[in-house]
Amino acid sequence: MEDIKTPKVDNVSLVERFSSRRNAVGSLYLTATHLIYVDHDNKRETWILHSHISSVGKLPLSTTGSPLQIRTKTFISMTFIVPKERDAHDLFTSLNKMCQPENIEDLYCFRYNIGPDEMEKSYGWSFFNIREDFERMNVPPESWTMTTLNKDYDLCDTYPRHLFVPTAAATSVLIGSSRFRSRGRLPVMTYMHSNKAALCRCSQPLSGFSARCVEDENLFMCIQKANPNTAQLVVVDTRPRINAMANRAAGKGYESEANYENTRFMFTGIDNIHVMRSSLAKVVETCDLKSQMMSAFLNGLEGSGWLRHTKSVIDAALSVARTLEEGSSVLVHCSDGWDRTAQVCGLAQIMLDPYYRTFDGFQALICKEWLEFGHKFSDRSGHIQVDPKEVSPVFTQWLESVWQLIQLYPFVFEFNERLLLTIHDHLHSCQFGTFIGNCEKDRIDLRVSEKTYSLWGYLATHKTEFLNPLYQLEENKKCVFTKPQPTLQLPQSTSQPPQSPSQPPQTFKFWRGMYCRWENGLHPRESLMDLATSYKDHMHSLNDHIKLLKKRIRHLEKKSSDDADIPYINGNNTELQLDDNRLNYKKGLNEQVNLKVQLQEKDVNEHPLIDGENAWSKKEAVVSKPSHPLEFASEQFYPGLSEADITIEDLTEELESIALDWKSVRTATECPCSTPLDFSSFKRHCSRCGGIFCSRCLEKLVSLPGHVTLQQSRVCMVCYKACFPKSMESPE
């Protein structure tokens, strides 16, 4: 708090970039964690985390005041006009100090507290285990084994404790190879294909112009022998060849083909972190252009080269995936093995393994490739004060590569775009301890699992927000990214040709949801994914309600049928003289069921494998005569529902507990709590009243009596109180 010199400034104007209306005027508040702008006239609040701020700039003075331009790592660009230059200078100084603390333990995650009622601090930290992931791959123990050489991080302090290496590799071979590799990152397995071809990763060798290492060469031979398909090993160097040759002058470089037998080398030409940082900066400048001409935007986007760089990452991953499909093991590395290597290995596994395209599998992949095997998140994201040359959007580019794949294959990913955006936002927010530090050892030393919350726990509690409504499990299982895939069966006039990630550059899209997310004037009125999710949830709710109604109708028909068989008039039994076609139909059904039961009993009695002693017990197990011809369809699937003593009040409650009509997403502009609902907001429906609310107002889960499955449904606070009126009363 000592860095805050001016906690509040009034009469601050917010410059509207894409609107003809006059600038908003409000108050600017500076707290220990956020910069808050309150527009009192429009009832709008804008909260910016200090850790999200990437730069604060002072623009030339104007007649109305001193402009401050704030850009964030989530690609928000806001310009505030502060009336007094002194207040602007105080804000400028305070924000520059608070957006990047000097000590990593001063980050927001070490102070953030949700409360035990919403989520325990330990929830989510034990969701994923690297050993369980390798067990899922069915790694053959005769070829690969888990070594404990790195249990204290002595072999490589940026690798995980548990490493899978060839069983034939001796300890001396592993230690020697580690000393020959940059940062000690020796070749280890990160994924095994179903055909037993292995995907390995490492860093560049310390070969210089002529140095060699016998232990490193022997480790290559062990990897080759562990593959039952072929003896050839493919080494993929993700750098441009000229960059790898330049590293030789620094005593590093790449492997010599003369020293490694049965090895094929290839370069994929992905540029380094400095080129990527400059490229993304040009994209941000293009999005901030004052000119609204499409030609200026397209020229700026093409000049940045960002989409071209993203395509090079996807092409490299596709090459690795195809090589593994052919049965050859692959070893991937770049310079230090934690930037381009993680990008290519992660994308290749998404292309090959359907599990990594699911909600849980995608998080497990991030844990393994980026967190366990080390990526300099704190340096690359600029969490604390570091060398600006170390900052680079490596993980952002990887998330965009995944998004590009989702655009090509929308039916095979269980998660949606919002999951990618949420992970990206919380990478920079430092609200959770998941991405703090540069490797697993750093997070253990900081005790983040004890002091901070896990992002995976937060995502698990909000899972419904991140599910893709177009996802189809069978399509995911049979999808092969390495070959052109036909789309789902569509009408002949709208059918599309087979597609593959190796598409021409013009098929790659600009990710408007990431880089222009906050510019409401550039988006349609609603998100298509939100509309699809809303329709799917509504249909699921209605289908569940219809099943209950059918069950109740069958019960009432059965009851009326029983009453019709033995009617009572003035307390005396009388014969039924009515000729009702429905009763005749049911009578015919009863006769058919009785006949079917008799035939089944006959088949059981005459079966040659059943003796006389067990025939009756077997017959009882096979057939059981129902009391109603349609009872099989009701009680068999929903045995937990009792229909005894159902009253009119119960039926009325069931009918009124489900909203048949849901409000349209298109007309929703504001939540009842006054939270604006724009393109980036996730709009949710209350299952009981059908109203639209923000995520914060729709966190209650209840089992509505109008659903036959009694599944947990989200309801607003008003409906929650209506469902539990007694529990909401004051104890007094």
- Positive/negative CA dihedral, 400, 402, 407, 411: negative
The CA angle 367-392-243, to the nearest 5 degrees, is 100
Backbone torsions φ then ψ of 565, nearest 5 degrees:
-70, -40
Backbone torsions φ then ψ of 185, nearest 5 degrees:
-90, 85
132-158 per-residue burial string, b: 16 or more CB within 10 A, e: under 16: ebbeebebeeebbbebebbeebebbbb
Number of Cβ within a 10 Å radius of residue 498: 9
Cα 445 from Cα 468, distance rounded (Å): 37
- Report residue 44 as tokens: 């709008």
The reply to whether 340 sits in an annotated binding site is yes
Please, are residues 688 and 723 in contact by the beta-carbon 8 Å criterion?
A: yes
The reply to whether 334 sits in an annotated binding site is yes
Decide: helix, strand or coil at residue 650.
helix
The CA angle 492-495-500, to the nearest 5 degrees, is 155
**Residue 306 vs residues 292, 303, 342, 490, 619: alpha-carbon distances, Å:** 20, 8, 19, 33, 71
Decide: helix, strand or coil at residue 700.
strand
Cα 496 from Cα 653, distance rounded (Å): 48
The reply to whether 39 sits in an annotated binding site is no
Which position among 222, 334, 367, 671 bears the catalytic label?
Answer: 334
Q: Report which secondary-structure segment, H or E, holds 474.
A: helix 473-478
3-state SS record for 310-322: HHHHHHHHHHHHH
Amino acid at 29: Y
The reply to whether 582 sits in an annotated binding site is no
**Residue 682 vs residues 39, 316, 581: alpha-carbon distances, Å:** 22, 34, 52
Residue 62, strand partner residues: 65
CB half-sphere exposure, 578, CA atoms < 13 A: 12
Number of Cβ within a 10 Å radius of residue 373: 26
Active site residue 334: yes
Give the total residue count for the chain: 732
CA-nearest of 417, 436, 416 to 427 is: 436
CA-nearest of 706, 285, 680 to 512 is: 680
Amino acid at 295: S
CB half-sphere exposure, 402, CA atoms < 13 A: 31
The reply to whether 338 sits in an annotated binding site is yes
The reply to whether 337 sits in an annotated binding site is yes
- Report residue 661 as tokens: 């009509």
CA-nearest of 358, 371, 390 to 432 is: 371
The CA angle 172-174-175, to the nearest 5 degrees, is 65
**Residue 119's Cα: distance from chain center in Å?**
19
Please, are residues 387 and 376 in contact by the beta-carbon 8 Å criterion?
A: no
Number of Cβ within a 10 Å radius of residue 418: 20
Q: Is 130 exposed, middle or buried (0-12, 13-18, 19+ CB in 10 A)?
A: buried
- Report residue 15 as tokens: 């410059």
The reply to whether 339 sits in an annotated binding site is yes
CB half-sphere exposure, 326, CA atoms < 13 A: 14
Parallel, antiparallel, or unpaired for β 572-573 and 684-685? unpaired
Please, are residues 367 and 449 in contact by the beta-carbon 8 Å criterion?
A: no
Number of Cβ within a 10 Å radius of residue 314: 24
What does the DSSP assignment read for 445-459? HHTHHHHS--HHHHH
Cα 139 from Cα 290, distance rounded (Å): 56
Q: Is 39 exposed, middle or buried (0-12, 13-18, 19+ CB in 10 A)?
A: middle
Residues that are catalytic: 334
Binding site as annotated, residues: 272-273, 334-340
Binding site as annotated, residues for substrate: 272-273, 334-340
